[in-house]
Amino acid sequence: MAAEVILMNEVESKAAQLGIDLSIDFNSIQLPPGENFDIVSDDEDVYHEDQLEFDSGFGNVIVVDNLPVVPREKFDKLEGVLKKIYSQIGVIKEDGLWMPTDPETKKSLGYCFIEFNTPQEAELAKEKTNGYKLDRSHIFVVNMFDDFDKYMRVPDEWAPPEVKPYTPGENLQKWLTDDKSRDQFVIRAGTDTEVLWNDARQSKKTELVYKRTYWTESFVQWSPLGTYLATVHRQGAAVWGGATTFNRLMRYAHPQVKLIDFSPAEKFLVTYNSHEPSNPRDANRVVINIFDVRTGKVMRDFKGSADEFSIGGAGGVAGVSWPVFRWGGGKADKYFAKLGKNMISVYETETFSLVDKKSLKVENVVDFTWSPTDPILALFVPELGGGNQPARVSLVQIPNKTELRQKNIFSVSDCKMYWQSDGDYLAVKADRYTKTKKNTYTGFELFRIKERDIPIEVLELDNKSDKIIAFAWEPKGHRFAVIHGDNPRPDISFYSMRTAHNTGRVSKLSTLKGKQANALFWSPGGRFIVLAGLKGFNGQLEFFNVDELETMAIAEHFMATDIVWDPTGRYVATAVTSVHEMENGFNIWSFNGKLLYRIPKDHFFQFLWRPRPPSFLSPEKEEEIAKNLKKYSKKYEAEDQDVSMLLSEQDREKRRMLKEEWEKWVSGWKRTHEEEKQDRQKLRDGEASDGEEEYEAKEVEVEELLDVSEQVLPFED
Amino acid sequence: MRPILMKGHERPLTFLKYNRDGDLLFSCAKDHTPTVWFADNGERLGTYRGHNGAVWTCDVSRDSMRLLTGSADQTVKLWNVQTGTQLYTFNFGSPARSVEFAVGDKLAIITTDPFMELTSAIHVKRIAKDPTEQTEESVLVIKGPQGRINRAVWGPLNSTIISAGEDTVIRIWDSETGKLLRESDKESGHKKTITSLAKAADGSHFLTGSLDKSAKLWDTRTLTLIKTYGTERPVNAVTMSPLLDHVVLGGGQDASAVTTTDHRAGKFEAKFYDKILQEEIGGVKGHFGPINALAFNPDGKSFSSGGEDGYVRLHHFDPDYFNIKI
């Protein structure tokens, strides 16, 4: 800070010498924070290439207008002031400041060009100093040099926009109408990205839908309802979809995009990138765009230093916790919110501005989550003042920002919030210090959101000191599973938010002792769960039925890194991705743990099931189907049987062909072998034995004398 | 049945060979000392001392009287099987990688590695009936293939020589003139180093194993590709059952690439495949390290595997094995 003060003094004195009004608002210049914590961004390579690309262009040049018109002798002073202002923002190239002069009056023309090292710096300079008040009559107007061209080309007369005739689009949901009701998934291995049908029920393998080499430059991602597949490129993101194959539907320009995120109803796409600043003391510069998925229009952009976007988060990629913007308000894409310092900024998508034009002020808030269904925020404020002010979890309704419920929790070290998928329950896992503050133990605060006054219940494990390894709500259900314990074989407990007699009490259903598991994967339909032992447990899998509280199958996918249920809950995919050098590929299992097929793939990066939109069936209708399941299943069983008959028929046929072909080879070999018999005998000096004829096996007994020793034993009477 | 663990070598195994009667098993390892075992109970019968380097290969004559061993000490030695005495030493300028007696045992192929300025070569030597008349002289020397030749064997009636090695191409040479007769197709052939080659009992077809994680079955006379067997691991050793239509592939990740402590990570299994349907039937686990050598007993009722772990595992099949239906 001291350096800054001196800097200001200098500028002020220079300004005084120039006779310029001293009421310059230097505070309006936001200094980029001067640290990057020595973290070298991995996009440095890209960044350097980028720089080379632009060196020849004028992307790094800005034009500053509305400067004071000064005679020659005051040139240096004005230049000094400008340099002071702009070198705070970026590195000005050597001789990068040029102030043209009127050849007659020898005075400056009131504008200048400034060339920065990088286009990013130029962009930043434009943003920061446009409208900068040097004094009352000199307010800077800053433009990118490249933009001039664009402005010059604006036609003088307005031309009505061309109206394109309506062309009906493709049915982007066509895949849902598959007559075998199969699901699709995308895999990325090596340079290939493939979309495949999972045909486990019938052919026990996959069927290719679409394949493309170098489809994406880093990863692919389905939109939440499965309509689009997003790819990421140097120039931006793109979405793909279509009735039968995959066509590019829209592009979203965002150079060097790193991360993307869809809103839950897939109306909007958020893209993110961060630049390494040329001045290593500065923080990374972050650009976030929010696009309308269908039109490709930028609805709102956010720019700033990484510090502004990384509050509270533990730090995902390059310092920000992704997604920066969390979407809320259920499936309507109505709100999105960002955690800030002492506040939560909630935006609404009608106008893309802050709700009530201001952020929600919450002192020291460190985390928040949206209810998956309702516009309710759950936020967490940690303990302050050495325990004088307890930690707090509160539920806030949006848009009126009223607090629905609040709970103070004492001596908390850490807190995590888990919503049940229907927004019925919220579990808050609080790690608390024991009285001595030496150890921590974990308890749960369970909120019943849909009940009157939102009752809260405290749940502690049977063994309080158990560490919690994993927690997961049953989707659409009232149960949850917890892995707890310190020993290498932790226990797994299942709880229900209902008991047989009383719906308002949480109760334990069962505890499984000593399981090799560290992750929980509920079926999207609930009821079934995969208890998985990833990493240290080498891919142990236990398929468990929570209704019956019984194990359906125990299996292993050695080294498995990823486990994903298909959206219908019929199949489970387990994959070994390229974090391991070996074993790469994926297995498909039935919900009850039967291995259906395996596909090994080297350099396996991603496995993603194509999500399905929620069913249109009403709950009553669904119940009706469940009741009459027998009727339907008959039809499908018959279908399956037909297919399996056909397959085994084909299989038999194939085997018969192979056998026949082989027989042909063998008989040919036998013939030539016979023909060559004489020659072989000759080679062996007439020895007839060809090895094929019988020989007698004789049993020979060999006795070997190993050792003979004589010992005189005393004769005793 | 429980495998018989044969401990005798101090270094990784390199090669295994049964004699024609199937009562003796010869093993070569990097510890300089080829060893002979009773093929039935795994008892050690004797060793052949004299090499001064890793022994890469061996072959035994049809009458089980002579043993030929090739070593990294740049020699190939001829031994009396029964007494273990050295009968003759062929000297080369580079390590000997593979040896094989011809039909009739009057000729032998020896391949040598590229070394210093020497290229790899296939030598044909005359083997005298009386060791005192043995000479160093080569009947034929074939040069040409790039890189190491890992295996060279005789074709039918000693009229051809089949070679395979680092350059992934299988070649058939005329054993009289040394002329190249056939080359395997680049498209359908192996993509990486061929590590092993095993002939069928009647020599009509042969199996090659490669680091490209596959094994391929070829017709000996026409070099037609008949079958391909895919695995998940580099293949170091292959063999074929003389009795049933089974092929066995052995291998595993290079020891240096195995990063985890779990031995399952390397897949050090001997994998059985149906020769005709190309489907995996089963696997035999046990080695702690890649399998470097495999050999089937000529009676087809047992097989042995030699591993990087220095053990030879001798497996007698259970009766169930002979009734496998797929």
Compare CB distances from A558 to B103, B157, B264 and report the shortest one's residue: B264
What is the H or E stretch that residue A607 is in? Answer: strand A604-609
The tokens for A329 are 């308000």
Interval A132-142 mean pLDDT: 84
Q: Rounded to a whole number, what is the distance in Å from the CA of A44 to chain B's nearest CA?
A: 30
- Among residues A174, A159, A279, the alpha carbon closest in space to that of A227 is found at A174
Q: Rounded to a whole number, what is the distance in Å from the CA of A246 to chain B's nearest CA?
A: 31
Give the pLDDT score at A20.
58
pLDDT band at A646 (very low <50, low <70, confident <90, very high): confident
Q: Rounded to a whole number, what is the distance in Å from the CA of B45 to chain A's nearest CA?
A: 13
Compare CB distances from A658 to B103, B219, B277 and report the shortest one's residue: B277
Quick one: DSSP state of residue A108?
B
CB pairs under 8 A between A and B: 53
What is the H or E stretch that residue A626 is in? Answer: helix A619-627
User: Taking CB atoms and an 8 Å cutoff, what residues of chain B touch A600?
Assistant: 232
Interface test with chain B among A576, A599, A666, by most B beta carbons within 10 Å:
A666
Q: Rounded to a whole number, what is the distance in Å from the CA of B227 to chain A's nearest CA?
A: 10
What is the H or E stretch that residue B96 is in? Answer: strand B96-101
Compare CB distances from A673 to B204, B253, B264 and report the shortest one's residue: B204
User: Which of A277-281, A395-399, A632-636: highest mean pLDDT?
Assistant: A395-399
Contact A600, A585 (CB under 8 A): yes
Interface test with chain A among B244, B276, B326, by most A beta carbons within 10 Å:
B276
Pairing of strands A285-292, A268-275: antiparallel
Give the pLDDT score at A10.
64
**In whole numbers, what is the pLDDT of chain A averaged over residues?**
83
**More confident: A28 or A530:** A530
- The rounded distance, in Å, linking the Cα atoms of A186 and A184 is 7
Give the pLDDT score at A13.
65
Compare CB distances from B103 to A600, A683, A692 and report the shortest one's residue: A683
Q: Rounded to a whole number, what is the distance in Å from the CA of B117 to chain A's nearest CA?
A: 36
Helices (H) and strands (E) in chain B, counts: 0, 28
- The rounded distance, in Å, linking the Cα atoms of B217 and B219 is 7
Topology of the domain comprising A61-153: Alpha-Beta Plaits (3.30.70)
User: Taking CB atoms and an 8 Å cutoff, what residues of chain A touch B221?
Assistant: 672
**Cα separations (Å) of A430 from A163, A363, A564?**
58, 20, 28
Interval A481-490 mean pLDDT: 86
Q: How far is CA B94 from the centre of its chain?
A: 19
Q: How far is CA B66 from the centre of its chain?
A: 17
- The rounded distance, in Å, linking the Cα atoms of A467 and A461 is 10
Regions in chain B scoring below 70 on pLDDT? 254-267, 326
Question: What ipTM is given for this predicted complex?
Answer: 0.84
Are the beta carbons of A583 and B265 separated by less than 8 Å? yes
Instruction: Give the lowest-confidence range in A21-35, A381-395, B304-318.
Output: A21-35
Pairing of strands B44-47, B55-60: unpaired
Contact A444, A458 (CB under 8 A): yes
Give the pLDDT score at A697.
61
Give the pLDDT score at A44.
44
Quick one: DSSP state of residue B32?
S
- The rounded distance, in Å, linking the Cα atoms of B206 and A28 is 82
Give the pLDDT score at A54.
43
Compare CB distances from A683 to B157, B257, B262 and report the shortest one's residue: B157
| The residue count for chain B | 326
Backbone angle region of A386, left / alpha / beta, with phi > 0 → left and psi within -120 to 50 → alpha? left
> Dihedral, CA atoms, A193, A197, A198, A201, nearest 10 degrees?
-160
- Among residues B186, B190, B207, B189, the alpha carbon closest in space to that of B198 is found at B207
CB atoms within 10 A of CB A257: 21
Q: What is the pLDDT of residues A294-304, one digit of tens each?
A: 899 999 988 88
Does the structure show a pLDDT above 80 at A198? yes
Q: Rounded to a whole number, what is the distance in Å from the CA of A662 to chain B's nearest CA?
A: 7
Helices (H) and strands (E) in chain A, counts: 9, 43
Contact A333, A352 (CB under 8 A): no
Interface test with chain A among B232, B256, B280, by most A beta carbons within 10 Å:
B232
Contact A202, A234 (CB under 8 A): no
Using a CB–CB cut-off of 8 Å, the residues of B that contact A are 20, 62, 102-104, 106, 156-158, 201-202, 204-205, 219, 221, 226, 232, 245, 253, 257-260, 262, 264-267, 275-277
Q: How many CA atoms lie within 13 A of A313 on its CB side?
A: 23
Instruction: Give the lowest-confidence range in A566-570, A685-689, B260-264.
Output: B260-264
Contact A346, A356 (CB under 8 A): no
Residue reference for tokens 């005051």: A74
User: Which of A20-29, A148-157, A381-390, B299-308: highest mean pLDDT?
Assistant: B299-308
Give the pLDDT score at A642.
86
Are the beta carbons of B262 and A582 separated by less than 8 Å? no
Residue type, A442: T
How far from each other are the two terminal CA atoms of chain A, in whole angstroms? Answer: 111
Q: Where are the domains of chain A?
A: 61-153, 216-361
User: Taking CB atoms and an 8 Å cutoff, what residues of chain A touch B260?
Assistant: 559
To the nearest 10 degrees (0 to 180), the angle between helices A75-87 and A2-18 is 150
Q: Rounded to a whole number, what is the distance in Å from the CA of A660 to chain B's nearest CA?
A: 10
Residue reference for tokens 């053990």: B311
Compare CB distances from B20 to A538, A665, A691 and report the shortest one's residue: A691
Are the beta carbons of A559 and B265 separated by less than 8 Å? yes
Give the pLDDT score at A55.
45
Does the structure show a pLDDT above 50 at A53? no
Give the pLDDT score at A9.
60
**More confident: A685 or A227:** A227
Strand ranges (E), A190-315: 192-199, 205-213, 220-222, 229-232, 236-241, 247-253, 259-262, 268-275, 285-292, 298-305
Residue type, A363: E
User: Taking CB atoms and an 8 Å cutoff, what residues of chain A touch B245?
Assistant: 662
pLDDT band at A315 (very low <50, low <70, confident <90, very high): very low
Does the structure show a pLDDT above 50 at A413? yes
> Which pTM does this prediction carry?
0.70
